[in-house]
């Protein structure tokens, strides 16, 4: 910076006297002067020679000229028409810098200067021209930027500069990117057919979207009409015969008439309009108007009109056939070389197969993640419904309460990581408390009356939902996940899974183990199983059934709360959050087999993969997917009324 | 005496536990039979199999003159074919009157549409009264059966069985919880019923069985241990072992 | 036989009498035909309430008598509404289209009329084609048959599947809820052919009756609703009074025992489930022309849950209980949610009933289940008990009755 200032001072001293610009003009100034007219005119259509001249000058200062030009830093001195790079000193005065020497040559009043303002189209052209300089720029960041802009939008003129820049590239990563881009540009732009085919084959095992983007234009086709047979020398995909090959007569004729090769077909609208214009004394060409609600009569009247020359002739089917038979229709590749299109088709086929396999993998991952969400939503139920046999329709609302707890915590603790760590135990505590209260106040009085339990908990569910609406309003509340859960694990362009789903999968596994541990290894689990199987006997052995029921129910509810935090992280938190999961959760438990956690796991797996499978078959419609899934479950229960893993014999009860 | 019910080679297991093991059993058209056996001998499961509640893993259950297999029929079809069952615990419809209970059991068309349009006629009321007299509940016809005493419920259930006019009666512990006088009454009812149909009584109480005075089948671990008169089986060494423990 | 049936069931006569007097009173007080004491919209509300009482009776048959807690009857109700709605909307649109095309110089062809109707009806879902399910929409007779046929067939198929595999109790409830959810999700789609979440609208305009003002129409619908309720009530009372009633109550209390008596339980449940589904369809077909719009949200499981709430609050297992519950809860609900109930100012917080009514309903529902399992109908027992304490000389003891015992065994 200091250097520049000193330089500027020296320059100012040296050139204190105004000089005749022409005399001192360097080579770049010469080029600019040569094209001065079009530079000043600044039109995208005519500017090309000027840019090419600067870029192709081979002068080291070309890059800085282009950059200045692009940045609207190029000014013309009106007195002598010379171009300079100008820097603002104050609002009125500019310092002029010569392009060739890079030295400040003068200061000038703004009124004596004219700014060259290239429009965005020109700036883009300059940018393209700049790329080849930037590809060799000593700064790796600028090289990466240039490469990125190339990847977005390439041009055939850039293939050579790109190739030239590969060998000298020092950064291995950039070099790999350059090589890959070079292959893609070769596919699109290389003049040599063999080189293109080689590149196509080389890239045919690559799953990148950009590869497909490079290949797809090669196999793009247009439907063309030829009088007689298609001429030789075209790269024909196939000849279409009207009425066959999914190519209807109607669309064929429409193509013909659109191309002006045949008279337009008379539509029923056209008939009606023509008829309406020719009503005379309640008749059209002799046909009474009131009869014209019959389509056959309309044609009759229209034909008569046409015969009188008052309307375009009505086309008969025979005339249509005639017109069609004298033309041929063919799909033509835009790319003239058959060898290239064949190679591209084959490559796309190979890529499609690999993409299909990867999509299957992606689908499996998706299904797995959905299954773990269902499992998470259902695991609390597996305890309250599966083990205790208590049907709690407010379970969904416990999930909702957990999610809202997470939201409230996040309002108080802005740090997302900390807030999630606080929210999970807090959600457990809140819903544990709610569960215990529900058990003590309501469910306790209704043991062994499942239908009434169902109804009473419905009441609770309705009330809790409305309460949430009253407190939090009806709009969705966000529960933001910490940044480290924000991204996605990307395997390739097809397969990716967000970290949050992986976290939920992990959480589901954790809960599974927790459940197994509590039920099989702890005193509470033992007592729960005892109380569930025979409360009287358990009571006689010194277990307090009331306390055990309360704790177990609380546990199931608490887990629902944690599930709520997890679900809230990827779904919007609304008062209806629980409703969206409750039926599926019950289905998961019922399908899996009541009273068996492995069954619940299998049930979640089944339902998750089923839903994803149906969505894959009909991707536009998740509502339909849910509909069909529920129908499937209803039918499934026909064959395994007691679920996948069923208890047998007398233990199963009646 | 021709055979009404023939069970042969029937086995069933629950989660690996063999509840019935290659059991064979036959009963004639009009015969009273008692089945005894220690707990877990498979008495209830045996009845479950005949009435269609439990499907055996193997074996055959043949019924009537035409030797129809009962295994392919539903519980309701088996009941309509003529098998009546009384449960261990008295199960009557407590929310309904004695008369309604009996009317429901009365032998008539069981088809839902027929039932929808069916209204009791004079003969039906007479039949109900007849049965009620037999089981000693004629004064209680209009009372809800939930108000009846335990013994009365047992009788009502037997009355419902009789109203069904079954050809085979399966009676599970009819005397449980009854006073001696009530037992006497029950014995008379069963002996009377066995004159026109087959009756199988499952009972623990030896005194009750002695009063029935009939052939006895002893079940143990899901198969028949001994069969014959009560004196015969009580003299059997194995039976004594089973009952007294080895 | 009929005479003795009514003689045996005096409550039916009383009910019909009250219903008749009520209808008469509303007619006299109505805007359309009487003194104008009651607004047209309130007449509509009353008409709708009577229809809701009808579906509550149907619900009481399946739940109160046969013990099947169906959470699907509002789906049948909605389907009935859709069936009549299709004709109403088609015919009404056809009228409008024909009228507007009458001024065209060239009379329209049949196809042009149908196309124009299609554009009118399906424009909102970006389509103009008639889906296959609208095939019979131009025929009132066929759509009237479909009002009972569609819910009937759906109930038959679903019931056959469910009862055949012996799904009972809460499992059956969840399954019916799933069915309802599936149906409503299906209808929510735009390509279901029933206008997605827009539903069918403008149903209050009855084709060919444009000259009849809504104030009169509303009274006609009130009569129709009252008639339907009366017939439905009579029919239900007749069903439950005979041996069929005995059998279904037996099924509720001890399904296995009924089976061992030789009754095919599945057949009975199926018959009852299907019949009540048809009743619900009829109720729906009367309800939605009064409401004016039917959409998939009406079918959502929560509606069927509310239905269970009405029956439980009114008192299940007795037909008049269902009627009382439906009328009481839906009217009170209208009162609260309509903003007519005064807000309660607690000083620090104002309770607005529009927001808090649902909570009150939910909690009172819990309270009814816990403290008054017989519902409001139980009050009649108290009253009857005071009037005739010496009945049969013995206490009834029904509280330890078979109903609970059966559930205890599950």
Pair A410, A480 in one domain: yes
Of residues C8 and A480, the one with the higher pLDDT is A480
Residue contact A634–C256, C-beta within 8 A: no
Pair A162, A107 in one domain: no
Helices vs strands, H then E, count in chain B: 10, 10
Of B110, B119, B146, the CB nearest to C264: B110
Residue contact A466–C358, C-beta within 8 A: yes
How many CB atoms within 10 Å of residue A420? 22
Contact A553, A438 (CB under 8 A): yes
- Cβ-Cβ contacts under 8 Å, C362 against chain A: 458-464, 466
User: Binning pLDDT at 50, 70 and 90, where does residue A19 land?
Assistant: very low
Residue contact C409–A654, C-beta within 8 A: yes
C 103-132 residues inside an 8 A Cβ radius of A:
104-112
Neighbours of chain B (3+ CB pairs under 8 A): A, C
Query: What is the SS3 assignment for A568?
Result: helix
Query: Has residue A392 been placed in a domain?
Result: yes
- Chain A's closest residue to B55, CA to CA, is A649
- Angle (CA) C277-C370-C342 rounded to 5° is 85
Suggest the residue from A649, A652, A654 to mutate for an interface test with chain B (most B CBs closer than 10 A): A649
- Containing A454, the helix (H) or strand (E) segment is helix A450-472
- Cβ-Cβ contacts under 8 Å, C369 against chain A: 446, 452, 455-456, 459
Distance from B56 to chain A by nearest Cα, in Å?
11
For residues A154-169, give the mean pLDDT: 76
How many CB atoms within 10 Å of residue B179? 12
Give the pairing of strands A104-109 and B168-172: unpaired
C 302-361 residues inside an 8 A Cβ radius of A:
302, 305, 308-309, 312, 355-356, 358-359, 361
**CA distances, A375 to each of A127, A371, A379, A423, B21 (Å):** 54, 6, 6, 20, 41
Query: Considering chain C, what percentage of its residues have pLDDT values greater than 90?
Result: 35
How many CB atoms within 10 Å of residue C348? 5
Domain range annotation of chain C: 5-303
- Angle (CA) A174-A180-A183 rounded to 5° is 140
User: Binning pLDDT at 50, 70 and 90, where does residue C226 land?
Assistant: very high
Rounded to an integer, what is the distance from CA B55 to the centroid of its chain?
Answer: 18
Nearest-angstrom CA–CA distance, A395 and A375:
14
Rounded to an integer, what is the distance from CA C334 to the centroid of its chain?
Answer: 16
How many CB contacts within 8 angstroms connect chain B with chain C?
98
- Cβ-Cβ contacts under 8 Å, B14 against chain A: 648-651
B17 touches chain A (CB under 8 A): yes
For residues C381-397, give the mean pLDDT: 46
Q: What is the pLDDT of residue C4?
A: 64
- Cβ-Cβ contacts under 8 Å, A648 against chain B: 14-15
Residue contact B93–C250, C-beta within 8 A: yes
A310-361 pLDDT, tens digit per residue, is 777 777 778 888 888 888 888 888 788 888 888 888 888 888 888 888 888 8
Structure tokens that stand for C61 in this block: 């048959």
Interface list for chain B against chain C, based on CB atoms closer than 8 Å: 51, 53, 74-77, 79-80, 84-85, 87, 91, 93-96, 100, 103-105, 110-113, 115-116, 118-120, 142-144, 146-147, 160, 164
Which of A505, A169, A25, A499 minimizes the C-alpha distance to A36? A25
User: Binning pLDDT at 50, 70 and 90, where does residue C397 land?
Assistant: very low
Of residues A543 and C274, the one with the higher pLDDT is C274
Distance from A272 to chain C by nearest Cα, in Å?
7
Q: What is the pLDDT of residue C403?
A: 33
Q: Looking at the predicted structure, is the pLDDT value of residue A219 above 70?
A: yes
> Which of A541, A556, A579 is a domain's end point?
A579
> Which of A97, A123, A149 is a domain's end point?
A123
Of B74, B84, B95, the CB nearest to C264: B74
- Chain A's closest residue to C183, CA to CA, is A627
- Cβ-Cβ contacts under 8 Å, B100 against chain C: 246
Of A275, A292, A459, the CB nearest to C363: A459
Complex-level ipTM: 0.86
Contact A122, A45 (CB under 8 A): no
Query: Has residue A621 been placed in a domain?
Result: no
> Which of A554, A579, A604 is a domain's end point?
A579
**CA distances, C296 to each of A117, A384, A634, C127, C274 (Å):** 59, 32, 21, 19, 22
Q: What is the pLDDT of residue C267?
A: 92
Distance from B108 to chain A by nearest Cα, in Å?
27
B9-28 pLDDT, tens digit per residue, is 888 887 777 888 888 888 88
Query: What is the SS3 assignment for B198?
Result: strand
Nearest-angstrom CA–CA distance, C280 and C148:
8
Distance from C263 to chain B by nearest Cα, in Å?
5
Query: What is the SS3 assignment for A442?
Result: coil
C3-41 pLDDT, tens digit per residue, is 467 777 788 888 999 999 999 999 999 887 888 888 888
Of C171, C182, C361, the CB nearest to A462: C361
Of B96, B105, B118, the CB nearest to C261: B105
Of B74, B76, B95, the CB nearest to C249: B95
Number of domains in chain A: 4
pTM recorded for the entire structure: 0.80
Contact C331, C49 (CB under 8 A): yes
Right CATH number for B3-244 from 2.40.170.20, 3.40.50.300, 3.40.1410.10, 3.30.310.50?
A: 3.40.50.300
Residue contact A638–C408, C-beta within 8 A: no
Sheet holding A74-77, edge to edge: A104-109, A93-97, A83-88, A74-77, A113-115
Give the pairing of strands A104-109 and A93-97: antiparallel
Residue contact A466–C309, C-beta within 8 A: no
Q: Looking at the predicted structure, is the pLDDT value of residue A57 above 90?
A: no
Query: Has residue A601 been placed in a domain?
Result: no
Query: Considering chain B, what percentage of its residues have pLDDT values greater than 70?
Result: 98
Residue contact C401–B110, C-beta within 8 A: no
- Cβ-Cβ contacts under 8 Å, C271 against chain B: 112-113, 116
Q: Looking at the predicted structure, is the pLDDT value of residue C410 above 60?
A: no
- Chain B's closest residue to C239, CA to CA, is B116
Pair A245, A303 in one domain: yes
Nearest-angstrom CA–CA distance, A52 and A57:
8
Of residues B94 and C381, the one with the higher pLDDT is B94
Contact A443, A392 (CB under 8 A): yes
**CA distances, C390 to each of A28, A322, C351, C386, C396 (Å):** 122, 100, 47, 9, 11
Of C161, C366, C369, the CB nearest to A634: C161
Nearest-angstrom CA–CA distance, A550 and B7:
49
Structure tokens that stand for C22 in this block: 């009520």
**CA distances, C86 to each of C79, C184, C221, C289 (Å):** 10, 17, 18, 11
Pair A53, A152 in one domain: no
- Cβ-Cβ contacts under 8 Å, C267 against chain B: 111-112
- Cβ-Cβ contacts under 8 Å, A275 against chain C: 105-106
Nearest-angstrom CA–CA distance, B96 and B107:
18
- Cβ-Cβ contacts under 8 Å, B15 against chain A: 648-649, 651
DSSP of A95-159: EEE-TTT--EEEEEEGGGEEE----HHHHHHHHHHHHHHHTT-SSHHHHHHHHHHHHHS--GGGH
Instruction: Give the best-scoring range by mean pLDDT among A64-68, A328-332, A541-545, A549-553.
Output: A549-553
Q: What is the pLDDT of residue A654?
A: 36
- Chain C's closest residue to B94, CA to CA, is C402
Pair A200, A227 in one domain: no
Residue contact B17–A649, C-beta within 8 A: yes
- Chain B's closest residue to A651, CA to CA, is B14
DSSP of C153-166: HHHHHHHHHHHHTT
Rounded to an integer, what is the distance from CA A606 to the centroid of its chain?
Answer: 27
Nearest-angstrom CA–CA distance, A202 and A187:
10
Neighbours of chain C (3+ CB pairs under 8 A): A, B
Q: Which domain holds residue A242?
A: 221-338
Torsion A303-A306-A311-A313 (CA) sign: positive
Query: Has residue A180 been placed in a domain?
Result: yes
Of A298, A466, A634, the CB nearest to C175: A634
Of C104, C167, C183, the CB nearest to A637: C167
**CA distances, A518 to each of A586, A588, A597 (Å):** 22, 21, 12
Suggest the residue from A642, A646, A648, A650 to mutate for an interface test with chain B (most B CBs closer than 10 A): A650
Instruction: Give the best-scoring range by mean pLDDT among A129-138, A427-436, A541-550.
Output: A427-436
Interface list for chain C against chain B, based on CB atoms closer than 8 Å: 1, 239, 242-244, 246-247, 249-250, 253-254, 256-257, 259-265, 267-268, 271, 392, 394-398, 400-403, 405
Residue contact A455–C312, C-beta within 8 A: yes
Give the pairing of strands C293-294 and C344-345: unpaired
User: Binning pLDDT at 50, 70 and 90, where does residue C388 land?
Assistant: very low
Mean pLDDT, chain A, as a whole number?
A: 81
Pair A322, A468 in one domain: no
Q: Looking at the predicted structure, is the pLDDT value of residue B229 above 80?
A: yes
- Cβ-Cβ contacts under 8 Å, A650 against chain B: 14
By residue count, chain C amounts to 410
Q: Where are the alpha helices (DSSP H) in chain B?
A: 43-51, 75-81, 98-105, 112-117, 122-134, 150-163, 180-193, 206-212, 230-235, 237-244
Nearest-angstrom CA–CA distance, A153 and A147:
10
């Amino acid at each position: 910076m200091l250097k520049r200032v000193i330089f500027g001072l020296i320059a100012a001293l040296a050139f204190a006297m105004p000089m005749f610009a022409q005399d001192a003009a360097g080579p770049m100034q010469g080029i600019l002067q040569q094209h001065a007219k079009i530079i000043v005119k600044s039109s995208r259509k005519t500017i090309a020679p000027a840019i090419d001249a600067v870029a192709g000058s081979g002068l080291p200062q070309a890059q800085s000229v282009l950059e200045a030009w692009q940045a609207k830093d190029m000014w013309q001195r009106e007195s002598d028409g010379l171009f300079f790079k100008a820097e603002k000193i104050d609002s009125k005065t500019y310092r002029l810098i010569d392009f060739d020497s890079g030295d400040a040559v003068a200061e000038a009043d703004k009124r004596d200067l004219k700014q060259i303002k290239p429009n965005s189209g020109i700036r883009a052209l300059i940018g393209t021209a700049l790329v080849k300089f930037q590809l060799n720029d000593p700064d790796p960041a600028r090289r990466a930027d240039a490469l990125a802009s190339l990847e977005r939008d390439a041009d055939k003129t850039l293939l050579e500069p790109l190739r030239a820049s590969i060998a000298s590239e020092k950064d291995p990563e950039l070099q790999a990117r350059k090589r890959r881009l070079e292959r893609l540009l070769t596919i699109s732009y290389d003049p040599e057919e063999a080189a293109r085919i080689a590149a196509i084959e080389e890239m045919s095992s690559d799953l990148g979207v950009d590869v497909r983007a490079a290949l797809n234009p090669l196999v793009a086709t247009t439907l063309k009409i030829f009088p007689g047979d298609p001429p030789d020398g075209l790269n024909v995909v196939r000849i279409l015969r009207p009425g066959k090959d999914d190519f209807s007569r109607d669309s064929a004729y429409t193509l013909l008439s659109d191309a002006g090769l045949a008279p337009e077909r008379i539509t029923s609208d056209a008939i009606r309009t023509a008829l309406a214009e020719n009503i005379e004394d309640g008749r059209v060409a002799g046909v009474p108007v009131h009869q014209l609600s019959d389509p056959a009569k309309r044609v009759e009247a229209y034909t008569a009109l046409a015969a009188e020359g008052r309307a375009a002739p009505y086309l008969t089917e025979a005339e249509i056939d005639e017109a069609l038979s004298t033309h041929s229709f063919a799909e033509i590749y835009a790319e003239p070389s058959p060898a290239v299109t064949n190679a591209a088709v084959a490559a796309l086929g190979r890529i499609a197969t690999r993409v299909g396999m990867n999509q299957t993998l992606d689908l499996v991952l998706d299904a797995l993640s959905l299954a773990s969400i269902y499992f998470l939503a259902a695991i609390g139920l597996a305890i309250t419904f599966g083990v205790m046999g208590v049907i709690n329709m407010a379970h969904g609302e416990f999930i909702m309460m957990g999610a809202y707890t997470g939201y409230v915590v996040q309002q108080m603790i802005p740090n997302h990581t900390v807030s999630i760590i606080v929210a999970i135990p807090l959600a457990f505590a809140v819903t544990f408390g709610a569960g215990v209260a529900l058990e003590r106040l309501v469910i306790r009085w209704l043991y062994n009356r499942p239908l009434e339990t169902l109804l009473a908990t419905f009441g609770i569910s309705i009330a809790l939902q409305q309460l949430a609406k009253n407190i939090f309003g009806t709009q969705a509340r966000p529960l933001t996940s910490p940044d480290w859960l924000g991204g996605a694990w990307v395997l390739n362009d097809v397969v990716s899974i967000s970290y949050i789903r992986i976290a939920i999968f992990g959480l589901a596994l954790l809960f599974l183990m927790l459940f197994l541990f509590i039920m099989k290894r702890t005193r509470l689990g033992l007592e729960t199983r005892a109380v569930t199987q025979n409360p009287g006997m358990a009571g006689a052995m010194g277990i307090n059934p009331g306390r055990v029921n309360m704790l177990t129910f609380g546990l199931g509810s608490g887990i629902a709360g944690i599930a709520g935090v997890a679900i809230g992280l990827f779904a919007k938190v609304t008062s209806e959050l629980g409703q969206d999961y409750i039926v599926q959760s019950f289905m998961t438990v019922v399908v899996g087999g009541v009273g068996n956690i492995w069954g619940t796991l299998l049930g979640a797996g089944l339902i998750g993969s089923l839903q994803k499978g149906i969505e894959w078959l009909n991707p536009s419609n998740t509502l339909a997917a849910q509909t069909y899934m529920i129908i499937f479950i209803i039918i499934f229960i026909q064959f395994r009324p007691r679920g996948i893993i069923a208890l047998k014999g007398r233990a199963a009860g009646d | 005496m021709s055979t009404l019910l023939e069970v042969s080679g029937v086995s069933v297991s629950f989660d690996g536990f063999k509840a019935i093991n290659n059991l064979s059993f036959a009963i004639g058209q009009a015969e009273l039979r008692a089945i005894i056996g220690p707990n877990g001998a498979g008495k209830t499961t045996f009845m479950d199999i005949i009435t269609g509640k439990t499907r055996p893993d193997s074996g055959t259950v043949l019924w009537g003159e035409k030797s129809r297999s009962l295994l392919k029929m539903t519980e309701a079809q088996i009941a309509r074919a003529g098998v009546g069952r009384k449960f261990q615990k008295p199960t009557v419809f407590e929310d309904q009157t004695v008369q309604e209970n009996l009317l429901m059991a009365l032998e008539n068309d069981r088809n839902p549409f027929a039932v929808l349009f069916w209204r009791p006629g004079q003969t039906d009321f007479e039949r109900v009264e007849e049965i009620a007299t037999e089981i000693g509940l004629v004064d209680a016809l209009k009372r809800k059966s939930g108000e009846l005493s335990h013994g009365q419920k047992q009788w009502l259930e037997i009355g419902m069985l009789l109203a069904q006019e079954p050809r085979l009666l399966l009676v599970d512990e009819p005397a449980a919880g009854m006073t001696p006088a009530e037992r006497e009454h029950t014995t008379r009812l069963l002996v009377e019923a066995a004159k026109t149909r087959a009756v199988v009584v499952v009972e623990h109480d030896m005194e009750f069985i002695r009063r029935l005075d009939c052939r006895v089948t002893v079940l143990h671990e899901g198969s028949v241990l001994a069969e014959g008169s009560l004196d015969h089986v009580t003299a059997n060494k194995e039976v004594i072992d089973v009952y007294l423990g080895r | 036989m009929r005479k003795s049936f009514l003689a045996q069931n005096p409550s039916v006569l009383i009910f019909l009498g009250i219903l008749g007097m009520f209808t008469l009173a509303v007619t006299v007080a109505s805007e359309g035909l009487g003194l104008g004491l009651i607004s047209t919209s309130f007449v509509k509300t009353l008409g709708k309430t009577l229809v809701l009482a009808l579906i509550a009776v149907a619900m009481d048959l399946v739940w109160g008598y046969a013990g099947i807690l169906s959470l699907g009857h509002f789906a049948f109700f909605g389907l009935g509404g859709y069936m009549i709605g299709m004709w109403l909307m088609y015919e009404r649109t056809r009228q409008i289209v024909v009228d507007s095309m009458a001024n065209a110089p060239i009379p329209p062809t049949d196809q042009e009329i149908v196309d124009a109707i299609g554009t009118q009806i399906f424009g909102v879902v970006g389509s103009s084609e008639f889906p296959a399910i609208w095939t019979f929409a131009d025929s009132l007779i066929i759509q009237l048959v479909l009002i009972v046929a569609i819910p009937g067939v759906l109930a038959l198929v679903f019931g056959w599947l469910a009862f055949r595999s012996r799904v009972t109790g809460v499992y059956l409830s969840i399954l019916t809820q799933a069915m309802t959810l599936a149906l409503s999700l299906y209808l929510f789609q735009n390509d279901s052919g029933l206008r997605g979440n827009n539903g069918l609208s403008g149903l209050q305009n009855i084709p060919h009756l444009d000259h009849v003002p809504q104030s009169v129409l509303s009274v006609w619908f009130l009569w129709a609703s009252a008639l339907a309720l009366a017939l439905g009530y009579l029919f239900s009372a007749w069903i439950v009074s005979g041996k069929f009633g005995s059998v279904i109550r037996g099924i509720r209390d001890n399904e296995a025992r009924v089976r061992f008596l030789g009754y095919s339980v599945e057949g009975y449940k199926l018959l009852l489930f299907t019949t009540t589904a048809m009743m619900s369809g009829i109720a729906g077909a009367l309800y939605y022309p009064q409401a004016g719009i039917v959409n998939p949200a009406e079918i959502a499981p929560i509606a069927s849950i509310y239905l269970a709430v009405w029956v439980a609050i009114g008192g299940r297992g007795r037909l008049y209980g269902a009627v009382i519950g439906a009328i009481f809860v839906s009217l009170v609900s209208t009162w609260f949610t309509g903003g007519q109930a005064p807000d309660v100012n607690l000083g620090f917080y104002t309770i607005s009933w529009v927001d808090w009514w649902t909570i009150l309903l939910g909690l009172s529902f819990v309270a009814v289940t816990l403290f008054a399992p017989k519902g409001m109908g139980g009050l009649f027992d108290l009253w009857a008990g005071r009037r005739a304490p010496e009945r049969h000389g013995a206490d009834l003891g029904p509280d330890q009755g078979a109903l609970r015992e059966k559930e205890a065994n599950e």
